[in-house]
């Protein structure tokens, strides 16, 4: 098992990441905001994966063992926090509006300056104020624990376009549709169709970050048409996939 690095304080600053690059499993004793102002970043823990394009940030509470992965050319911004302004003890995806975006970029631009003094201290105070107002976004791809459900989830991870019903997938896993439906609710916190949509959106973001055309992404992720994909993507993220990496 790879060694898990322990970092007493969550770092603050800027870290460019090439496509496919990442930061291996680690934990820190303070909280952190993880934000990609360019590209797409995923944060993975034992509980699942959180994915954030440029209008989302990921909250990582102190003590959480996690790893980062960049998809596309990624400009990673990290904000370490000693306090917990969100009162959250679990990872979460937060909406990032234009003001919060610029505050994060400005604050991480010169991490050498003292955090609590002068202009930088005032910048952090406004950043925290905006952070408290940032709504949580339901874009978490939870990881199953039951081996039957894990087998089904693995099938769809390999091919998000697999359109088989839950009943047919249950047969692959040697169980029943009713059992899988119950496990989805208990372990994933959502219905099977909801989880499959989250999975497809997750894969779509990664493919778009790698430069795949919208139509190709739609078909590779299981949508019958590009227009159907665009509609679901816009409702999930607030903009069309064509604008995802031109913002």
189-246 tens-digit pLDDT: 999 999 999 999 999 988 988 889 999 999 999 999 999 999 999 998 888 887 766 5
Contact 208, 39 (CB under 8 A): no
Domain residue spans in the chain? Answer: 5-140, 144-243
- pLDDT value of residue 137: 83
Alpha-carbon distance of 161 to 240, in angstroms, equals: 20
**Domain at 5-140, CATH class:** mainly beta
Query: Quick one: average pLDDT of 30-44?
Result: 92
Calculate the average pLDDT of the chain. 90
Q: CB 115: neighbour CB atoms within 10 A?
A: 15
Per-residue pLDDT at 1 exceeds 80? no
Over residues 4-13, the pLDDT tens digits come to: 888 888 889 9
Q: What is the mean pLDDT of residues 120-136?
A: 91
Q: Give 151's pLDDT tier (boundaries 50, 70, 90).
A: very high
What are the phi and psi torsion angles at 70 (to 5°)? -95, 140
CB 35 within 8 A of CB 57: yes
Higher pLDDT, 8 or 166: 166
Give the per-residue pLDDT at 27: 94
The CATH code for residues 144-243 is 1.10.10.60
Residue 3's pLDDT is 73
């Amino acid at each position: 098992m790879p060694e898990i690095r322990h970092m007493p304080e969550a770092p603050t600053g800027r870290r460019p990441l090439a496509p496919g690059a990442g930061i291996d499993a680690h934990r820190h004793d303070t909280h952190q905001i993880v934000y990609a102002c360019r590209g797409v970043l995923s944060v993975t823990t034992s509980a699942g994966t959180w994915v954030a394009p440029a209008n989302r940030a990921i909250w990582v509470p102190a003590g959480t063992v996690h790893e980062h992965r960049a998809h596309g050319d990624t400009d990673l911004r990290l904000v370490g926090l000693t306090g917990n302004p969100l009162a959250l003890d679990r990872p979460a995806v937060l909406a990032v509006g234009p003001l919060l975006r610029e505050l994060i970029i400005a604050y991480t631009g010169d991490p050498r300056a003292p955090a609590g003094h002068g202009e930088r201290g005032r910048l952090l105070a406004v950043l925290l104020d905006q952070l408290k107002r940032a709504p949580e976004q339901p874009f978490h791809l939870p990881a199953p624990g039951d081996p039957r459900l894990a087998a089904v989830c693995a099938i769809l991870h390999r091919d998000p376009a697999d359109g088989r019903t839950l009943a047919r997938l249950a047969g692959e896993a040697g169980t029943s549709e009713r059992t899988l439906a119950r496990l989805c609710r208990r372990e994933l916190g959502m219905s099977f169709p909801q989880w499959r949509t989250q999975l497809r959106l997750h894969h779509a973001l990664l493919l778009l970050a790698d430069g795949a055309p919208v139509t190709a992404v739609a078909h590779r992720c299981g949508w019958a048409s590009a227009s159907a994909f665009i509609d679901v993507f816009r409702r999930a993220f607030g903009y069309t996939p064509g604008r995802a990496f031109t913002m």
